[in-house]
Structure 1
Amino acid sequence: MTSELHPKLFVSDADAAIDFYTTTLDATLDLRVADDHRVVHHAEIILGSAILALAQSVPEWGWNTPGSVGGTPVLITANVSDPDATAERMVHRGAELVIPVENRPYGKRQGRVRDPFGHLWVISGPLR
Structure 2
Amino acid sequence: MAEADYSFTEMLPITPRDLPFRRRMKATILRSSLPGRAKVNVPDGFNTVTPYFFVRGAEDFVDFLIAALGGDEVGRHLRPDGKIANAQVRIGSSTLMVSEATEANPATYGTYYLYVEDADESMRRALGHGASLEMEVADMPYGDRQGGVRDPFGNVWWISQRLEDGPYF
Fold match, TM over 0.5? yes
Question: Within the alignment, does 1:78 sit opposite 2:122 as a pair?
Answer: no
Does 1 or 2 have the higher relative contact order (CA < 8 Å, sep 6+)?
A: 1
Q: Contact conserved, 1:40 with 1:56, CA < 8 A, in 2?
A: yes
1: CA distance between counterparts of 2:85 and 2:123? 27
Equivalent residue letter for 2:67: T
The alignment status of 1:101 with 2:168, answered yes or no, reads no
Whether the 8 Å contact between 2:148 and 2:159 is mirrored in structure 1 is: yes
Task: Give the match for residue 69 of structure 1.
Answer: none
**Is 2:68–2:128's contact at 8 Å kept on the other side of the alignment?**
no
TM-score normalised by length of structure 2:
0.66
Q: Distance in 2 between matches of 1:101 and 1:10?
A: 28
Deviation at 1:101, TM superposition (A): 1.1
Please tell me whether the aligned partners of residues 65 and 118 of structure 1 are also in contact (alpha carbons under 8 angstroms): no
- 1:34 maps onto 2:70 in alignment: no
Would you say 1:48 and 2:100 are equivalent positions?
no
Give unpaired runs (5+ residues) of structure 1.
67-71
- Residue 64 of structure 1 deviates from its aligned partner by 2.0
Deviation digits for residues 75-116 of structure 1, max 9, x if unmatched? 101101011111111111110110111100111011111001
Which residue number corresponds to residue 115 of structure 1? 151
Whether the aligned pair in 2 keeps the contact of 1:40 and 1:55 (CA below 8 Å) is yes
What is the distance in 1 between the residues matched to 2:132 and 2:54? 18
Question: Would you identify which runs of 4 or more consecutive aligned residues in structure 1 move more than 6 Å?
Answer: none
Whole-angstrom distance in 2 between the partners of 1:91 and 1:26: 13
**Partner amino acid for 1:120?**
V
User: How many residue pairs get matched?
Assistant: 120
Secondary structure of 1:15 counterpart:
helix
Identity of aligned residues (%): 31
TM-score (norm. length: structure 1): 0.86
Alignment of 1:7 onto 2:51: yes
Give the structure with higher Rg (CA). 2
**Among 110, 114, 123, the residue aligned to 1:87:** 123
* 1:126 positional shift: 2.9
Over aligned residues, Cα RMSD in angstroms?
1.6
Choose the corresponding residue for 2:69, options 7, 18, 25: 25
Between structures 1 and 2, the one with greater strand share:
1
